[in-house]
Amino acid sequence: MAPMIYTLYGFAIFFFVFWCAMWLLHLIAIFYGKYRLHKKNPELLLDEPYPGVSILKPLMGVDPHLVSNLETFFTMRYPTYELLFCVEDEKDPAIEVVNSLIEKYPKVQTDVFIGGSTVGVNPKINNMHKAFEASNYDLILISDSGIRMKEDTLQDMVNHMTERTGIVHQMPFTSDRNGFAATLEKIYFGTAQSRMYLSADCVRVNCHTGMSTLMRKHVLEEEGGLKSFGCYLAEDFFISKHFLDKGWKTTISSQPAMQNSGVCDVHSFQARLTRWAKLRMAMLPLVIVFEPLSECMVIGACAGWATSLLFRWEPLVFYLIHILVWFLCDWLLLSIVQNGSLPFSKFEFIIGWLFRECTGPYLFILAVFDPSIRWRNRCFKLAWGGIAQEVSPRSKC
Ligand SMILES: CCCCCCCC/C=C\CCCCCCCC(=O)N[C@@H](CO)[C@H](O)/C=C/CCCCCCCCCCCCC
Ligand SMILES: O=c1ccn([C@@H]2O[C@H](COP(=O)(O)OP(=O)(O)O[C@H]3OC[C@@H](O)[C@H](O)[C@H]3O)[C@@H](O)[C@H]2O)c(=O)[nH]1
């Protein structure tokens, strides 16, 4: 009997400590977010020697927001940069979109790379490889197709590139869009993901998501260039790991990344989160235990049971208070990340937040039980450690 009791008490203490640690993460994210995000950039002095930046834009297909998203790269206030568009398929309609913008803004230095090159499994790397090799500057910005820039976003990122810094990345967030899926995306990126991202950046844990990331080209070249990371689907995590291993600092910029893809529906969003969860599990297997536990509904239930055993607290009352306080912390964090009025009402926030919190653990279970990864039109399998293999090359799955 005694071993059973010790085991129960052992679990109860573990859940209670984990629950306390989660509140610490809430606090870190709120204070660090307030301290780091949305700092005003100093006026850009054009006679200052700002370094040149090569911006790599991997494109695949056209969505209703692509033109306006890309246009924001042509209208940035930054002295020296080149835009290198990468399109794998020569029939891709994105080429026409790019050409029309190049015609509209002839003064911006641009180039278009069509056809990609097969240097690994990761299709984004394959698409960008030629442009990476041809880029003219030591600072490379890899920026996904759905990202929008403000006039001073690039300046903000470069300002964070100090002597010891090798990577400056934007914390994923979203622009204001209409509809439930857009509300859900904003709530997820501004609460659950921001909490982890900000806490990780604060304590220097690698959490790099590569949708908008400025890095030093020569450090990548020492490792063989971008192609050396083509064997991973989560190239972002491994690139950042390489920089950290070499003694460089990585940091977030003060402006979060404005994702503004024209494809915005609940199914695609959930598929993307499930794909990311599969990447994390393959790279860091401990995530399989810790990630579900870091969810509000799960850790609340575990801590409710633990405190009823340890302190005889009423579990239902505990659980409801836990959810309420977590909800309020999330509202506060989202307001800090948004830094302005939110495009939805408090009622919509409640619905979106409850939906996200209840579906999060379910999506994670889906990810655990279906290890195959679908990304755009390809299917992959991941081995432990993160090395990827394409299942049926270049075919739909
Ligand atoms: C009491 C501490 C408990 C910590 C438990 C942590 C469990 C992980 C929970 C949630 C993970 C959220 C990850 C946030 C962003 C990741 C987005 C993403 O998956 N991006 C991939 C695709 O672009 C990319 O390849 C992966 C990047 C890095 C993943 C690293 C995951 C571990 C994060 C751990 C953060 C813990 C912070 C603790 C600080 C004390
Ligand atoms: O086959 C592909 C798929 C994607 N891409 C490009 O890669 C970028 C990201 O693609 P998606 O928006 O589909 O995917 P995500 O937002 O989930 O990507 C994110 O997660 C996985 C990481 O490896 C990426 O670095 C990160 O950007 C886009 O610019 C897209 O055009 C390709 O060039 N080829």
In tens, the pLDDT along 251-300 reads 999 999 999 999 999 999 999 999 999 999 999 999 999 999 999 999 99
CB count within 10 Å of CB 365 equals 12
Cα-to-centroid distance, 243 and ligand 2 (Å): 21
pLDDT at 161 over 60: yes
Taking only the tens place, the pLDDT of each residue in 337-355 is: 999 999 999 999 999 999 9
What is the C-alpha to C-alpha distance for residues 164 and 249, in angstroms, rounded to an integer? Answer: 6
Mean pLDDT of 153-158: 98
> Among this protein's residues, is 236 annotated catalytic?
yes
Cα-to-centroid distance, 124 and ligand 2 (Å): 6
Give the ligand with the smallest distance to the CA of 259: 2
Cα-to-centroid distance, 154 and ligand 2 (Å): 20
Burial (Cβ within 10 Å: 0-12, 13-18, ≥19) of residue 110: buried
Mutational pocket test of ligand 2: of 144, 149, 280, the residue with most ligand atoms within 8 Å of the beta carbon: 144
Tell which atom from ligand 1 comes closest to the C-alpha of 286.
7
Average pLDDT of the chain is 96
What is the C-alpha to C-alpha distance for residues 83 and 291, in angstroms, rounded to an integer? Answer: 37
**Comparing C-alpha atoms, which of 59, 69, 218, 224 is closest to residue 127?**
59
DSSP letter at 190 equals: I
Tell which atom from ligand 2 comes closest to the C-alpha of 261.
12
Q: Predicted ipTM?
A: 0.96
Q: Would you say the CB of residue 306 lies under 6 angstroms from ligand 2?
A: no
Angle at 92 between CA 90 and CA 95, to 5 degrees: 85
Q: Would you say the CB of residue 36 lies under 6 angstroms from ligand 2?
A: no
Give the ligand with the smallest distance to the CA of 375: 2
Query: 351-356, long-range: CB within 8 Å, 24+ apart, which pairs?
Result: 352/180, 352/183, 352/184, 352/187, 353/187, 353/191, 353/327, 355/184, 356/184, 356/187, 356/188, 356/191, 356/192
At residue 392 the predicted structure's pLDDT band, cuts being 50, 70 and 90, is confident
CB count within 10 Å of CB 25 equals 18
Instruction: Tell the residue nearest (CA) to atom 8 of ligand 2.
Output: 144
Cα-to-centroid distance, 383 and ligand 1 (Å): 19
Tell which atom from ligand 1 comes closest to the C-alpha of 279.
25
Q: Would you say the CB of residue 234 lies under 6 angstroms from ligand 2?
A: yes
Give the ligand with the smallest distance to the CA of 394: 2
At residue 395 the predicted structure's pLDDT band, cuts being 50, 70 and 90, is very low
Taking only the tens place, the pLDDT of each residue in 179-209 is: 999 999 999 999 999 999 999 999 999 999 9
Which of 152, 156, 201, 236 is the catalytic position?
236
Cα-to-centroid distance, 225 and ligand 1 (Å): 25
The whole-number pLDDT of residue 3 equals 85
**Comparing C-alpha atoms, which of 213, 217, 216, 206 is closest to residue 170?**
213
pLDDT at 249 over 80: yes
Give the ligand with the smallest distance to the CA of 287: 1
SS3 350: helix
Q: What is the pTM of this model?
A: 0.96
Q: Give the bridge partners for 232, in sequence order.
A: 387
Instruction: Tell the residue nearest (CA) to atom 38 of ligand 1.
Output: 200
Q: Would you say the CB of residue 200 lies under 6 angstroms from ligand 1?
A: yes
pLDDT at 44 over 80: no
Taking only the tens place, the pLDDT of each residue in 48-89 is: 689 999 999 999 999 999 999 999 999 999 999 999 999 999
Instruction: Tell the residue nearest (CA) to atom 31 of ligand 1.
Output: 207
Q: Would you say the CB of residue 196 lies under 6 angstroms from ligand 1?
A: yes
Q: Would you say the CB of residue 20 lies under 6 angstroms from ligand 1?
A: no
**Left (φ > 0), alpha (ψ -120 to 50) or beta: where does 256 sit?**
beta
At residue 47 the predicted structure's pLDDT band, cuts being 50, 70 and 90, is low
CA atoms within 13 A on the CB side of 209: 22
pLDDT at 394 over 60: no
Q: Would you say the CB of residue 390 lies under 6 angstroms from ligand 2?
A: no
Residue 251 tokens, joined: 């940091």
Q: Give the bridge partners for 111, in sequence order.
A: 84
Q: Would you say the CB of residue 122 lies under 6 angstroms from ligand 1?
A: no
Mutational pocket test of ligand 1: of 173, 196, 283, the residue with most ligand atoms within 8 Å of the beta carbon: 196
Q: Would you say the CB of residue 123 lies under 6 angstroms from ligand 2?
A: yes
Q: Are 107 and 20 in contact (CB under 8 A)?
A: no
